[in-house]
Amino acid sequence: MTAKIIDGKAISAAVKEQVRAEIERDKIKAGLAVVIVGDDPASRVYVNNKKKACELCGIQSFEYALPAETTEEQLLELVDTLNADNKVNGILVQLPLPKHLDEKKVIERISPIKDVDAFHETNVGKIMIGNYAFLPCTPAGCMELIHSTGVEVAGKECVVIGRSNIVGKPMAMLLLHENGTVTICHSKTRDLPEVCRRADILIAAVGKPNFVTADMVKPGAVVIDVGINRLENGKLCGDVKFDEVSEKAGFITPVPGGVGPMTIAMLMRNTVTAAKIQAK
């Protein structure tokens, strides 16, 4: 049995097309400000991809590229300015920030209704109780990929490996909102392979190359690989050992071309949602 590949590129293209059509139909004016501090090459790639996606969807993009030595005061001042700017509906500060800047303080300074990453404490709390306007882009993208398989989440055993605030925890909440039975695993989990083998839906978000092997996967499971790791030979790989797991799973996302494109598509959707909320 070979798994069906979940094509994140095709699904993200469809989401962006829906966003573009909605903007055109409802004559929505939407603007996204992206702030990048320093010159981290991976961050630069992400920012360029976000700009391209904005162009495609008809969202105005504003880029603020600040030098690495920018002070916290200067960065917070810029966030205040963007909070007050009516043309800016979404604000995204590209992480990671240089070490001398307090990420938590910066995120908390973004107005919750412009926080299109859904990292602000207010938005995180809303996700917890199921009363949210925005979802964090990566978990929301993972849910779209799961839905595309036709596998229903309700009643399924769902295992999330990784408990980060950005992916693992919100991912668990979204699966729970759809009536999945959810287990969150982490470095202190006892007998991790045994827990993973119970999963009908397995989400790997641990940041370790080829961490999930075939003996950890239930035959026919849906496997969503959130990891993106660069190997010593320069190649990208996920947290899942794709070649062997794809022989056993029912559905699997590739890396690259799985979760990555979805994150940006969901960001576009969040920006339009923010614009509609602010217009009211």
- Longest pairwise C-alpha distance within the chain: 56
For the record, the structure tokens of 35 come out as 């702030």
Give the domains, in start order, of the chain with CATH numbers. Answer: 28-111 (3.40.50.10860), 136-259 (3.40.50.720)
Is 27 a known active-site residue? Answer: no
115 touches 134 (CB < 8 A)? yes
Instruction: Report whether pLDDT(42) > 90.
Output: no
Percent of the chain having pLDDT more than 90? 95
CA 121 to CA 123: how far, in whole Å? Answer: 5
Among the listed residues 16, 114, 115, 117, the single catalytic one is 117
Q: How confident is the model at residue 1 (pLDDT cuts 50, 70, 90)?
A: confident
Beta strand 31-37 with 90-93 is parallel
Is 114 a known active-site residue? Answer: no
Average pLDDT, the chain: 97
237: helix, strand or coil: strand
Among the listed residues 94, 115, 156, 218, the single catalytic one is 94
Tens of pLDDT, residues 3-27: 999 999 999 999 999 999 999 999 9
CA 224 to CA 105: how far, in whole Å? Answer: 31
Is 74 a known active-site residue? Answer: no
For the record, the structure tokens of 191 come out as 């007998």
- Residues 137-159: what's their mean pLDDT? 98
